[in-house]
Amino acid sequence: MKQIFKIAMAMYMAMFLIACSEDDDSNEDVIAADGIYNFLGTIDGAYYLAASETLTEGSLTFVNNGTQIDADQAARIIASGDYLYSLDYGTGLLSQLQPTATGEYVKIKEINAGLSVGTNTPRYALADESTIIVMNVETTPVTDDAGDVTDYICTLRLSSVAIPEMTIGNLTEFVIPQTENAKKGATIGYHPMRASSPVISGDKIYFGLMHTDIFDPTVPPPFRAPKQSGLETLVFDYPSMTNGTITESSAATGHTGGYRAPAMHVDENGDVYQNNWFMSATGFDLSNGDKTVIMRLRDGAYDSSYEFDVSAALGLESNVAAVGWFYVGNGIGYMPIQLEDEGNYYTDNSWSVARIDIYNQTAVKLDVPLSQLFTYENGITVDDNFYMAISPTGGDAAVYEFDASSAAADAVTEGLGLDGNNIHVEGIYH
C-alpha cells in the first residue's frame, strides 16, 4: 500500500480550508439535529429537509415547509451530534447543517470534500463520532503500443473529514488489486469501480466493492455488466490504513458496497455482516437461482462457516434482490427487498421490507405497502423499534414502526403521515 501526503496537496488543502465558506452560526434559533427527527424528501429531483418532533402520530408535509438543499444529482445525509452533514453528489460539496426552531435548516460550514479525492461524485460514510471518510475509485487506462486499452488501474483515494470542525486530512491512495476471479470474462476482465459502505471492527476497516466491465466508461457504474461470480471485500488495518488486501468468497455473487442504504454492519460481538447486491435488472445472471445472502466477516476475512440465504428463508415465488439493510441490534435487521415479479426496480412500486434474524437465519416479508426503495438511504432505531418511511409512488406515504421483538409479519404500525404521491421520503435521521 502506498500512502501519499504530497506537498502540493498539502499547500492546496491549506488554501482550500482558508477558503471554506462559513455561514453565520450565531442564530439563536438553531437546535441540535439529534433533538428532533429529520426527514429527507425528493420532489421532482429536488431534495428537501423537514423536521418533526414525533414519528408515531400527526403528519408532516414538505409543501411550503422545510429547506431545499443543494443536490446536483442527489443528496446524501449523515447525522452526527448537533448537526446533519449533506453531500451534494455531483459537485462534491459537503455541508454542515443545523435545524432551527422554525423548521428550517441553516448551513454552518461547507467544504469541497470531492476535490480531496479527485471527483465531484465521491462517496462518504461516518467512521466514528468525530470522523467522516470520503472515498473515490479513480480508473486509469493502460494501453499497448497501438494505443489499445489492455487494462485499467483502479486507485482508491481516501480522505478523512474531522467533524464538527470540517477539516480535511489523512489523504491515502491504494491501488486495488484485480483478483484472478475478476480477470475472468468481460471485455478485459471486471474491475473494482466503487468502494463503499465502510465499517470498522476492532483494528480492521472493511470496504464493499462494485466490480463491473469498465470497457464502456460512458455508462454509469451501476449499469455496466457486473462480475458474475464471487464476493469481494477490501480490508485495511485501522486506523493506520495499511496492509490493504482483498478477501473473497465463492458462496454467492454480487456487489458488496450497497447503493445508498448500507450493506455492512457490525454486531455486538464485533462480527461484520454483509448483504450482496444480486439483481437481474442490473445485469446479474439469475439463471442458476436467486440468492440474496448475508455473509459474515471476521478478523479481516469471510467466515466460511456462515452463510444466510435470505431468498430461501423468505420462500417467495418472486426473485428477491436487496442493495442494503439496517441493523437494529441483537441479531435483528430490516432489509428493503425488491420483488422482481412486481415490476421495475427503479420506477415501480416493487419493493417491500423483510425482518431478518442474522443469528437464527430467518426472514419474513412484512405487511407494508409496496413502494420504491432502491434509493432509500436511512432508517432509525428508537427504544428498540425501527422506523423508516414508506412512500409509494402515487399513493399514501407514512412512517412505519417495526416492533423488533416480534417476528410476525403484522408487527408493523403506521405512524406519522407523509405527503405521498410524487413526494418520496428517502431517509429519517436523528
Q: Are 12 and 6 in contact (CB under 8 A)?
A: no
Task: Give the pLDDT of residue 254.
Answer: 97
Q: Within 10 Å of residue 98's Cβ, how many Cβ atoms?
A: 22
Is residue 4 pLDDT above 80, yes or no? no
Q: Which residues pair with 400 in a beta bridge?
A: 388, 414
Q: How confident is the model at residue 142 (pLDDT cuts 50, 70, 90)?
A: very high
Is residue 293 pLDDT above 90, yes or no? yes
**368 grid coordinates:** 407494508
Task: Give the pLDDT of residue 222.
Answer: 75
Q: How confident is the model at residue 170 (pLDDT cuts 50, 70, 90)?
A: confident
Mean pLDDT, range 337-357, rounded to an integer: 98
The Cα–Cα gap between 32 and 290 comes to: 44
Task: Give the pLDDT of residue 412.
Answer: 99
Q: How far apart are the first and last CA of the chain?
A: 37
Is residue 7 pLDDT above 60, yes or no? no
Task: Give the pLDDT of residue 28.
Answer: 55
Q: Are 155 and 138 in contact (CB under 8 A)?
A: yes
Is residue 396 pLDDT above 70, yes or no? yes
Task: Give the pLDDT of residue 27.
Answer: 56
pLDDT in tens, 182-204: 999 888 899 999 999 999 999 99
Backbone angles phi, psi at 406, to 5 degrees: -115, 140
The Cα–Cα gap between 18 and 43 comes to: 35
Task: Give the pLDDT of residue 11.
Answer: 35
Query: Which residue would you say has higher pLDDT here, 275 or 44?
Result: 275
Q: How confident is the model at residue 363 (pLDDT cuts 50, 70, 90)?
A: very high
Q: Among 3.30.70, 2.120.10, 2.40.10, 3.30.300, what is the CATH number of 118-429?
A: 2.120.10
Is residue 165 pLDDT above 90, yes or no? yes
Mean pLDDT, range 286-308, rounded to an integer: 96
Strands (E), 131-203: 131-143, 149-162, 167-175, 190-201
Mean pLDDT, range 242-255, rounded to an integer: 98
Closest by CA to 390, choosing from 362, 419, 430, is 419
Strands 326-329 and 320-321: unpaired
Task: Give the pLDDT of residue 395.
Answer: 95
Task: Give the pLDDT of residue 129.
Answer: 94
Mean pLDDT, all residues of the chain: 93
Mean pLDDT, range 204-212, rounded to an integer: 98
Backbone angles phi, psi at 311, to 5 degrees: -60, -45
Task: Give the pLDDT of residue 239.
Answer: 93
The SS3 assignment for 312 reads helix
Task: Give the pLDDT of residue 203.
Answer: 98
Q: Which residues pair with 418 in a beta bridge?
A: 397
The Cα–Cα gap between 332 and 229 comes to: 28
Q: How confident is the model at residue 215 (pLDDT cuts 50, 70, 90)?
A: confident
The Cα–Cα gap between 32 and 23 comes to: 17
CA 321 vs CA 252, 263, 292, 339, 373: distances in Å = 13, 13, 6, 7, 11
Whole-prediction pTM: 0.94
The Cα–Cα gap between 199 and 297 comes to: 11
Q: Dihedral of the CA atoms 223, 337, 84, 49 (nearest 10)?
A: 90
Q: Are 44 and 422 in contact (CB under 8 A)?
A: yes
Is residue 305 pLDDT above 60, yes or no? yes
Is the sign of the CA dihedral 59, 64, 67, 71 positive or negative? positive
Q: Are 326 and 294 in contact (CB under 8 A)?
A: no
Q: How confident is the model at residue 10 (pLDDT cuts 50, 70, 90)?
A: very low
Name the helix (H) or strand (E) containing 16.
helix 7-18
Q: Are 268 and 262 in contact (CB under 8 A)?
A: no
Task: Give the pLDDT of residue 23.
Answer: 52
